[in-house]
Amino acid sequence: MTTVHDFPEKSGSASNATAKVLSDRAEGEAYVASVCFKHGPPRLLGVELEFTVHYADEPARPLDPDDLATALGPHTPRTLRPDSPALPLPAGSPLSLEPGCQVEISARPQTTLRHLDAVVSADLAHLESLLAARGLFLGDTGIDRHRAPARKLGTPRYAAMERRFAPMGDGGATMMCSTAGLQVCVDAGEADELAVRWAAVHALGPPLLATFANSRVHAGHDTGHASARWLAVMETEKARTRSAEPTEDPAGEWARRSLDTPLMVLPGPGGRWDAPDSLTFADWIDGRGEGAGLGKPTEDDLAYHLTTFFTPVRPQGYLEIRYLDAQPAARWLHPVALLAALLARPSTVDKVLELCEPVMGRWECAARFGLADRAIAAVASKVVDLGCAELGTTGLPPETITEISEGVQSLVSGSRSHQS
């Protein structure tokens, strides 16, 4: 399980002589299905933690990338310092940066939640120590409370994304430069349970998005929305952000969608990676990119195209659950443990689908109103009760389970009083 938005920025899109050329749409769809959905018993768990970074003495001051690079030292990603050794953090987690210099820890997947907790806690503590030594600290919400979006990284990919999103409004710049998410990565499961697990991680979206929403204040202003972060994501390009629908064939549906989505970024020589207008990947396979000087696409090109989707759940062989706001560093484990517990047993997954059915697909409502929406709050309370009851399946120590249960229950306790 590795992060995909930092896929290596290739020097040419169709110039890799070793990559397999895609001769028709069927080959493209088969490739997507094979790499995005890998089957097997659920075994591994991973997490990606994003945080905004601020000056301790003046959180609203624009972040100087040189100050961040000095603090990170040999861990500085090459997107900021091309000559950096870019060493992983001491427990093995790679460190990356978002366009606004939000930092991201992408923990290596672990076979138990206890091991994942140990790895992430060690690397997170080390990161906080490095930043504190230079007068910096990690934000504790899913959006920059203090500053307006400003791109700090000058990579061709991020520059192309900024140009593409600009005509669509402010959502793209905000998503790229001001937001921070907590992404939970779980195995897709055996072939015969894939459709149910796929449906369950989507069904959990609105109630869990609402439960852990904390990104109401952006750039010093109250947006009035529970998760301004998720609204910013949804306000970019619908073709690559809208949620998938429940289906008996997730792999086939995702493959068709991937090929029918326009290219967003087209890596190539030079510094301008803007893709031809409205050219889908299927168009490219069919030869309709020749007018833009494109030859036949390869599997590498398709792999890169897959990194340009920002859906609530993104399949990458495993399932990357992307709808949660970043949490305070001390509480990152709470939503991860809850999700792990809710997906641990087939019987629990079935119960999840039953509980969440009344608010299925209500993403925008969850982001705008959070637990102030009575229907979502009612479902969230039941989901939290179910997840807390299943925390014993995670293998975490009893005292940690108690801490998580109390913390998560406290998030929905206010909504319970309004329902009674």
User: Measured between alpha carbons, how far is 357 from 320 in angstroms, rounded to an integer?
Assistant: 21
Side chain identity, residue 137: F
Q: Tell me the pLDDT band of 4, cut-offs 50, 70 and 90.
A: very low
The predicted model gives 199-218 an average pLDDT of: 98
Q: How far is CA 201 from CA 33, 114, 196, in A?
A: 18, 22, 9
Residue-wise pLDDT for 324-355, tens only, equals 999 999 999 999 999 999 999 999 999 999 99
Residue-wise pLDDT for 29-42, tens only, equals 999 999 999 999 99
The predicted model gives 394-400 an average pLDDT of: 98
Q: Which residues are CB-neighbours of 121 under 8 A, at least 6 positions away? A: 333
Pull the structure tokens for residue 51: 């945080």
Q: Which domains does the chain have, with CATH numbers?
A: 25-330 (3.30.590.20)
Q: Tell me the pLDDT band of 17, cut-offs 50, 70 and 90.
A: low
Q: pTM value?
A: 0.94
Residue-wise pLDDT for 125-148, tens only, equals 999 999 999 999 999 999 999 999
User: Measured between alpha carbons, how far is 72 from 57 in angstroms, rounded to an integer?
Assistant: 19
Q: Tell me the pLDDT band of 1, cut-offs 50, 70 and 90.
A: very low
Side chain identity, residue 101: C
Pull the structure tokens for residue 200: 């369950």
Residue 288 has pLDDT above 60, yes or no: yes
The neighbour count for residue 302, using CB atoms within 10 Å, is 23
H helix intervals, 23-84: 25-36, 65-72
Residue 401 has pLDDT above 80, yes or no: yes
Q: Tell me the pLDDT band of 307, cut-offs 50, 70 and 90.
A: very high
